Amino acid sequence: MFKEERHLRVSKIKEGTVIDHIKAGSALHVLRILGITGKEGYIVSIVMNVPSKKLGKKDIVKIEKRELNPQEVNLIALIAPNATINIIRDYNVVKKVKVTLPTKIKGFPRCANPNCITNAGREPVKPEFTVISREPLRLRCVYCGRDTTMEDIIKQLSQG
């Protein structure tokens, strides 16, 4: 039998954000939600499908020299409802936040209904949703009543 070795897969960061307990395979979606493409100059570390006692497998994202704002934390809750956000300063965790999905979401994602007023380019109306269900994720557009699911959001993120 092999004895599992515990070792650090990615080095500690001095300043920035660590997003932990992301559902396995979802780290790239988290980066898309944050608008991180790699061209911004941040040092970003991604660890995918690592063992986790809570989740079985998980992803982790480390972003050096960048702290997330509350709106970004709310958006991460759409893709990674069990995520923990750790703010790091001088190699120490100074703030730890468990993401929570708010009851109302504005601005992202787009409504899944192509005929919704929020998808008409000529109208200055931003998407707005009421959270109907957290697991599985279901958002209801306050303008047209159409439901948007996790699959709809991932499709939008994949399209850019």
What single string gives the DSSP state of each residue in the chain? -PPPPP--SS---SSEEEEEEEETT-HHHHHHHTT--S-S---EEEEEEEEETTTEEEEEEEEET----HHHHHHHHHH-TT-EEEEEETTEEEEEEE----SEEES-S--S-TTSGGG-TTS----EEEEEEETTEEEEETTT--EEEHHHHHHHHHH-
- Is pLDDT of 76 > 80? yes
Confidence of residue 75 (pLDDT cuts 50, 70, 90): confident
Tell me the pLDDT tens digit for each residue of 43-70: 999 999 999 888 899 999 999 999 998 8
Q: Give the pLDDT score at 6.
A: 55
Q: What is the pTM of this model?
A: 0.83
Span 77-85, average pLDDT: 91
Q: Give the pLDDT score at 122.
A: 77
